[in-house]
Chains A and B, each alone.
Chain A
Amino acid sequence: MSQKIRVVIAKPGLDGHDRGAKVIARALRDAGMEVIYTGLRQTPEMIVAATLQEDADVIGLSILSGAHMHICPRVMELLKEKGLDDVQVVIGGIIPDIDIPKLNAIGIRGIFIPGTPMQQIIDFITANARARV
């Protein structure tokens, strides 16, 4: 029996530009996933708590402000602490090329810059989300 993939879409940091977060939340929902949108100004602690509480398989972070190299490592660290290593973390936003290998190295493989087709993100999540048991 297949169950819906559960995705937490979060806007960490102080930035309020939520157009991308909202559009992807709706696109994932339309693609049949269960989407929880946290709203704005989430700390890594709040995001991981929401993931635990919602039993999410995927976290989508929308970051346009340049704070990703601070936020992402903290989220990954907290996930490990909570035993949520198998939660797939993806990021969308303005991510300079030189940061991509560093993000890959901490376990973030889905990095989507402006202009990425929605379908590509949907396909990535579908292929990489942990199996639901």
Chain B
Amino acid sequence: MKSVAGGADTRKARWEREVLEPTLKKSPERKGPFTTISGRPIERLYTAEDTEAIDYDRDVANPGEFPYTRGIHPTGYRGKLWTMRQFAGFGTPEETNQRYKDLIAAGGTGLSVAFDLPTLMGRDPDHPLSLGEVGKCGVSIVSLKDMERLFDGIPLDDPKITTSMTINSPASMIFAMYLVVAEQHGADWTKISGTIQNDILKEFIAQKEYIFPPRQSMRLITDIFAFCSKEVPKWNTISVSGYHIREAGSTSLQELAFTLRDGLEYVQYGVDAGLDVDDFVPRLSFFFNSHSDFFEEIAKYRAARKLWAEAMKNRFGAKNPRSWQLRFHTQTAGVSLTAQQPYNNVVRTALQALAAVLGGTNSLHTNSLDEALALPTKETATIALRTQQIIAHESGVTNVVDPLGGSYFIERLTREMEEGTLKYWETIDRMGGMVEAIERGYPQQEVAEASYQFQQAVERGEKTIVGVNDFVQTDEKPIEILYIDDTTANRQLERLEDLKRTRDNDAVRRTLGALKDGARGAANTMPLLLDCVRAYATVGEMCDALREVWGEYEEVPVI
């Protein structure tokens, strides 16, 4: 890309010869390696020569203009700050409900539900695999009754506080519960907004909370797209997630490439199901990680917007600018937090949050300092939220749109992220698409390899983790953590028994039967699930009904 044609002496080459070389002779650089946390080599200096191939109008453009590299809003954060959406959930629905009320009182502007593993895996608390897991990593939601408790006193028709739900395999079941609770609150489905994660592809790639095989899982998702485009038009039907891919050990580039390619797969499946691109793509949103390498992350977000806009316009022929505009939530990197010297995690999180903001995130979660040890306490969750408020209201970075735009380094890095992504897309396209690539274990293998390489770099001391492999402290005092005992499990078990005694079990059988029939055929599963939910069928029962028809997915583990 650099034009050094005919051996002409560029400015940078002259500088290297006349200024740099004598300096290096006198005082050599540190040992390095000078690479990002993802292993990408970084040069010591970037100049105008590194961005010669970039055309401002075509590749960067002003904010609010295609391809949106500098942002989707012309006013950036001067118009509206990002949504401060803290992911939270533990124990019983009542305990989590209280935490939400605390977060709103502390100035949080969105809710984000963390479910426990039995809920995420479509198992009731009385299933043998639920042993010891109920209410531990999130809130336990068994039936509509729990959803009613979770949102008690929280108005679901308030456009100022929207809710995001991190649920994937049983996304349609939980979404159906939310819709029924919204109805009970008197909210109009055509007016409510919120998000379900509903991204099964990254579950197969990274987080592994899958239930059904890939193709049946994709059908549940296109059913939601179709249902929402008519019934709940403002709902964000999917949050295509790179977060978990990154946490599983991918590089920054792999996170970007696989996540956007997952997005393309969903769009393709929607189109194949007969939907018009501009009817459902504007409701797709994204979710990225913000890891510790500051500039690489910022370049990632900028490249993401450009890649998506161009793919929607050129690959799918989308005409509505809202289909081109990539909106995303960011969470700071949980995996970067250390159990050692946990207060250092506040600093890590602040830097990662700043990168997300400089990259133009639309919504942000900041992790708490104790998350390598346990779920956060009320106090640590508050510090995490305050971190965002300090960036928003004290640092001054929100005064200007895309402050790093035009930086030789950032623009060059953005271009490199884009080119690397296009290469990954070519490979995946050749395999026939992301579903096929996953079935071959391709992205899984790429992530496992990157994760091992990083660990090796840490072991060799090439990558420093403060307090872990350097600057170690031996006289640490333990901090107080949130400890979840078995009270929740016992309570939820009692409630499940009680539910099965008091509900209309004929209605449950009837609606579950209709769900199975629908799943065998081509009916949209959403209305059938709404009937099951209204009859107080449990998450486990609804998932079991579909397991019976579709079977379960089992992966071949890749080390």
A85 → chain B closest CB, angstroms? 23
Interface string of B190-230 (1 = CB under 8 A from A): 00000000000001000111100000000000000000000
Which of B130-138, B175-183, B272-280 binds A?
B130-138
Interface flag for B249 (CB, 8 Å): yes
Q: B247 at interface (Cβ–Cβ under 8 A)?
A: yes
The reply to whether B555 and A19 form a contact with Cβ atoms under 8 Å apart is no
* 10 CB < 8 A contacts A-B: A14-B121, A14-B130, A14-B133, A22-B448, A22-B557, A22-B558, A25-B559, A26-B452, A115-B372, A118-B455
Sample of 17 further A-B pairs with CB below 8 A, known A18-B557, A40-B557, A65-B133: A13-B129, A14-B117, A14-B129, A15-B117, A22-B448, A22-B451, A39-B554, A39-B555, A39-B557, A43-B128, A65-B136, A66-B133, A66-B484, A113-B339, A114-B338, A118-B455, A118-B459
Q: How far is the CB of B461 from chain A (nearest CB, A)?
A: 10
A residues 12-32 in Cβ contact with B at 8 Å = 13-19, 22-23, 25-27, 29
* B263 interfacial contact with A, CB 8 Å: no
Instruction: Report the nearest A residue to B119, measured CB to CB.
Output: A14
Residue of A at shortest CB range from B552?
A: A41
Do residues A117 and B374 form an inter-chain contact, with CB atoms below 8 A? no
Nearest chain B CB to A94's CB is how many angstroms away?
7
> Min CB distance, B87 to chain A, in Å?
15
B132 in complex: contacting residue of A22, A37, A70, A119, CB < 8 Å: A70
Query: B118-155 interface mask toward A, CB cutoff 8 Å, 1 = contact, 0 = none?
Result: 10110100001111110011000000000000000000
**How far is it, in angstroms, between the C-alpha of A64 and the C-alpha of B378 when the chains are bound?**
21
What's the count of A-B pairs with C-beta under 8 Å? 108
A96 CB-CB contact with B under 8 Å? yes
B338-A94 in contact (CB<8A): no
Instruction: Give Cα A69 to B338, complex, Å.
Output: 22
Residues from chain B with a CB closer than 8 A to the CB of A18 are: 208, 248, 557
Among residues 507 to 559 in chain B, which have CB atoms less than 8 Å away from a CB atom of chain A? 554-555, 557-559
A113, chain B: closest CB distance, angstroms? 5
CA distance A110 to B129 in the complex (A): 24
| Secondary structure call for the B interface | loop
| Chain A residues with a Cβ closer than 8 Å to the other chain, count | 36
- CB neighbours (8 Å) of A17 from chain B are 207-208, 247-248
Contact check, A13 vs B339: say whether CB atoms are below 8 A apart. Answer: no
Residue in B339, B459, B558 whose CB lies within 8 Å of A117: B459
* Interchain nearest-CB distance for B192 vs A (Å): 30
**Per a CB cutoff under 8 Å, which of B120, B132, B247 touches A69?**
B132
Which residues of B are found within 8 Å of A29, using beta-carbon distances?
559
Binary contact readout A31-67 vs B (1 if CB under 8 angstroms, 0 otherwise): 0000101011101000000000000000000000111
Give Cα distance in the complex from A128 to B339, angstroms: 25
**In this complex, what residue of B is CB-closest to A63?**
B132
Chain A residues positioned under 8 Å from B208 (CB to CB):
16-18, 40
**Minimal beta-carbon separation of B554 from chain A (angstroms):** 8
**Is A71 in the interface zone, CB < 8 Å from B?**
yes
Contact of A67 among B132, B372, B478 (CB under 8 A): B132
The answer for the CA separation of A35 and B557 in the assembled complex, in Å, is 13
Closest B residue by C-beta to A69: B132
Binary flags per residue of B327-354, CB closer than 8 Å to A gives 1, else 0: 0000000010011100000000000000
Residue in chain A with minimal CB distance to B448: A22
A97 at the interface (CB under 8 A from B): yes
Chain B nearest CB from A43 CB (Å) reads 7
Report if B471 contacts A (CB, 8 A): no
CB-contact partner of B118 in A14, A96, A118, under 8 A = A14
Question: Of B136, B249, B339, which contacts A115 at CB under 8 A?
Answer: B339
Nearest-neighbour CB distance to chain B for A115, whole angstroms, equals: 4
Q: Which residues of chain B (407-458) have a CB below 8 Å from chain A?
A: 448, 451-452, 455
**B374 adjacent to A96 (CB under 8 Å):** yes
Q: What residue in chain B is nearest A41 (Cβ atoms)?
A: B129
